[in-house]
Structure 1
Amino acid sequence: MTDSAPLIIAALFGGFGLVVGSFLGRVSLRLPARESIVRGRSRCGGCGRALPPWRLIPLVGYAVARGRCHDCGAPIPAHYPLMEAGCALIGVWAALSQWSLIAAVLTALLGWQLLLIAVIDGEHFWLPDSLTLPLLVTGLSAAALLERSTLVDAAMGAGLGFAALWLIGRAYRSLRGREGVGGGDPYLLAAGGAWVGWVGLPSILLWAATAGLSVVLGRVLLGRRVSGGDRMPFGVFLALGVWLTWLFGPLGLPR
C-alpha cells in the first residue's frame, strides 16, 4: 500500500459521506413530519416545486443557489449543507482513525447514525425506535465482525445499558412525580452498549454527563436562566458519549 493510499481512502469516505449526508438531511426533516423518506422528489419548502438535479448535488447545489430557491427566493434550510459536511467529516475521520477497511466502514456507519439521532433529538426531543433499534442491530453486527469485543459483551452492554437508564427513569419518576428520562434514552444507551460493550457504559454516561453539565454551565455564564424543569436533549449527549467511547475506548482502560 502506497503512502497516499490512506488519503485516497479518506477522500472516498468523505465523498460518500456527502451523499449520505444529503439523504440524512432529508430524513431528519421528513421523519419528524411523518412523511415518507423514500417516496416523493425533494421540493422547495416555499413554492413546492420539485428541485432540479443540480440543486441536489451535496454542498455545491446550496452554494450555487446562494442558499435560496431559484424560483421563489425562499431560503433553503442550512440544515442540508451542515448535515452533508458533518457526514463527510465523519467519513474522513473514520477512514483515518481505524486500522482496517471494515473497521472504518463500521465506524462511519456508527457516526452517521449517531449524527442523525442527535439532530432529531436536539431539534424535536424525540428518539424514534426506527433509529435506535437499527443502531442496536449494527452494534451487535460490529461485535460479530470485529475483534474489539465479543458478541456476549455487546449483548450484555445492550441489556445493562437499557436497564440502567430505565431504572433511573423509574426512580426519578417515583421521587419527583414527573419524567426525568426520555422514553428513547434507555434504547439509545442499549444501542451504545452494543457498540462498546458493557465495560464502556460508564464512559458513555460520563461523557454524556460532562457534555450536559458543560451546556448548563455555558448557559449560566451567558446569564441565561437555568432551572430544574428545563428540558435537555440527553440523547445528543449520549450520542456524543457513544462516539467518543468507540473512538478512544473506555476511560481509564488501555485500548
Structure 2
Amino acid sequence: MQQLSTFLNIPSLFSALAGVIGLLVGSFLNVVIYRLPIMMQRGWRKECLEYLQIDPESTQEAVAEEPFNLVLPLSRCPDCNTPIKPYQNIPVISYLFLRGKCAECGCHISIRYPIIEALTALASIIVAWHFGYTPQAIFALFLTWSLIALIFIDIDHQLLPDSITLPLLWLGLCLSLFNIFTDAHASIIGAVAGYIALWAVFHLFKLVTGKEGMGYGDFKLLALFGAWLGWQYLPIIILLSSLVGAVVGVSMIIFVKHDHNIPIPFGPYLAAAGWIALLWGNEFNQLYLATVGL
C-alpha cells in the first residue's frame, strides 16, 4: 500500500494513470451520451401513456423491445448490428486500427467517439497534474467526466439531465462539509445564488422578448458550480460562459449561416467555464479584480 501511495504521489505517473483511466471512462461516456437521452425519452413516453391510461401494447409503436440501459444491449454496429468484440472496442486505438470503419460491413464510424475518448483522457491528465494525488483530484476527475457527458448531451438534445446535475449538486454540498473545495457557508450561498441568477435572467429575457433564452437545466448547472466552488466563483463563470457563448453564437450565424431562430445550447459554455474555474478560478478572480481596480 505504501508503494502504491509513493507511486501515485509522483505527478507524472499519477497524471499518466489518470489519462489511461480517462480513455476508458471516455469510452463509457460515449455510451452515456447516446443512450441516456433515449432512456429518458422512453421513460417520458411511458409516463404519458400511464397518465392517459393507454395500454402501451395497444399503440402502433408497440414493439417487443429488448432491455435498453447503460449496460444492455452490448455495443454493436448501428448499421449491421454485429456485436463489437472487446479488442475492437479499445479506446482510440481500435478506431485507428479499423480506420474508422466497421470490421464486418465497412460502414463509417463517427470520429466523435475517439474524440470524446481523447478529450476525456486529456482533461483527466490536466486535472491530475493540477491537483496532484489529493482528494480534490479524485472528485475533480469525477466532475470533469460528468461535465463532458453533459456537454455532448446538450449539444445533441439541448438537454441537461437531472439524473446527472442534481446528484452532482448534492455531492458538492456534501463536499463542502469537509472543505474539499470550499466551505459549507460559501457552498450553500453559491448553490442558491447560482440558481437564482440564471432564473432571474431567464424571466427577464422572457419578459422583454417573449422567448425563453435558456432551459432550467442551465440554472441547475450553475447552482452545481456554486455548490462545488462557492459563490465567489459565480461571476467569473457567468462572464466566461457569456463571452464564449456570444462569440461562438455570432460566428455561427455569420459564417455557418446558422438560423438565429434555432436556439444554441448554453450548457456547453457554462460547463466549460465552470471547469476552467475549478482549475484556475482563483487566478481569474485575481486578474478580474486587478482589471477593475479592486
So what's the TM-score if we normalise by structure 1? 0.91
Tell whether 2:43 aligns with 1:10: no
Which runs of at least 4 in structure 1 moved beyond 4 Å after TM superposition?
none
Q: Which residue of the partner structure matches residue 165 of structure 2? A: 132
**Among 129, 133, 137, the residue aligned to 1:96:** 129
Following TM superposition, by how much is the alpha carbon of 1:52 offset from its aligned partner in structure 2, in angstroms?
A: 0.7
Deviation, 1:208, is: 0.4
The amino acid of 1:104's aligned partner reads A
Are residues 1:236 and 2:241 paired? no
Q: CA deviation at 1:87?
A: 1.0
CA distance in 2, matches of 1:230, 1:103: 39
2:178, 2:92 → 1: CA distance? Answer: 33
Matched residue, 1:69:
102
* TM-fit CA distance, 1:38: 2.1
| Larger-Rg structure | 2
Partner of residue 202, structure 1: 235
**Counterparts of 2:162 and 2:256 in 1: how far apart (Å)?**
36
Write the distance in 1 (CA, Å) between the matches of 2:22 and 2:209: 43
SS in 2 for 1:232: coil
How many angstroms does 1:33 deviate by?
A: 2.1
Structure 1 contact 19–84 (Cα < 8 Å) conserved: yes
Which AA in structure 1 matches 2:275?
Answer: W
Aligned positions of 1:143-182 closer than 5 A: 143-182=176-215
Aligned: 1:222 with 2:255: yes
Shift of 1:207: 0.7
Amino acid at match of 2:37: P
Give the corresponding residue for 2:48: none
Q: Distance in 1 between matches of 2:259 and 2:286?
A: 35
The answer as to 2:250 corresponding to 1:245 is no
Where does structure 2 lack aligned partners over 5 or more consecutive residues?
1-5, 40-67, 288-294
CA-CA distance at 1:144 after TM superposition:
3.3
* In 1: Cα distance, 2:252 partner to 2:209 partner: 24
Q: 1:116 pairs with 149, 152, 157, which one?
A: 149
- Deviation per residue, 1:127-185 (Å, 9 max, x gap): 11112112213322433344431022112111111111112212222222221121211
Q: Percent identity?
A: 35
Letter in 2 for 1:241: A
Structure 1 residue corresponding to 2:37, chosen from 32, 39, 43: 32
Shift of 1:5: 1.8
Structure 1 residue 41 and structure 2 residue 110: aligned? no
Distance 1:120 1:222 in 2: 24
Give yes or no for contact 1:143–1:150 (8 Å, CA) kept in 2: yes
- Alpha-carbon distance in 2 for matches of 1:25, 1:193: 27
Per the alignment, residue 114 of structure 2 pairs with 81
Q: What is the rounded CA distance, in whole Å, between the counterparts of 1:16 and 1:145 in structure 2?
A: 26
Match 1:19 to one of 20, 24, 41: 24
Give, in whole Å, the separation in 2 of the partners of 1:26 and 1:99.
29
CA RMSD of aligned residues (A): 2.2
Aligned residue pairs, count: 253
Tell me the CA shift for residue 220 of structure 1: 5.7
> What is the DSSP-based 3-state SS (H/G/I as helix, E as strand, rest coil) of the residue aligned with 2:21?
helix
Deviation string for 1:38-67 (max 9, x for gaps)?
222111111112111101111122111111
